[in-house]
Chain A
């Protein structure tokens, strides 16, 4: 596959469940991002990783736990979520974080918390 891929594409979970979202980029980039897109709101940056190191945590609740084992893979571990966490979660990558570098997005995971 090419570009940025995300699995699963859809996820329904209860508030007591533990699940993980996966993102993989095949672009040789060094920076990866998690964004949250809720209805009627602009995309919100959650986390930024550069060369596997977290460089940004945008005041995200601890029930969201990111993991970046290498520059190509990014996970978002979910536990004890709330219904208001239901949203589209988008992963992106770029050659470097910020600056003039274009970000490329995956198709997203549609998360529903019951």
Chain B
């Protein structure tokens, strides 16, 4: 089945640093979503992207829909301790058989040193 490659698997960074993570797919997507999951909670939608090349910000978070429509990037600027968590990319492939189903990446675990 369809899979997303999300990298890095985990990151351990210094507070105040910028963070980048990305997702790539073997097929074309029409939607890219980024979620954050805190320990013991459900994933929370951070940013949604719908057009190739689209760049969208949510506070210190910025995400981009790759122009090839096969990838997306999430950047976090000036990380703080509460940025700790698991970040998931998710997308909807253009191929019709997926219906309303999303494909998820395996997640990037972010740990911040204070």
Specify whether A and B are partners: no
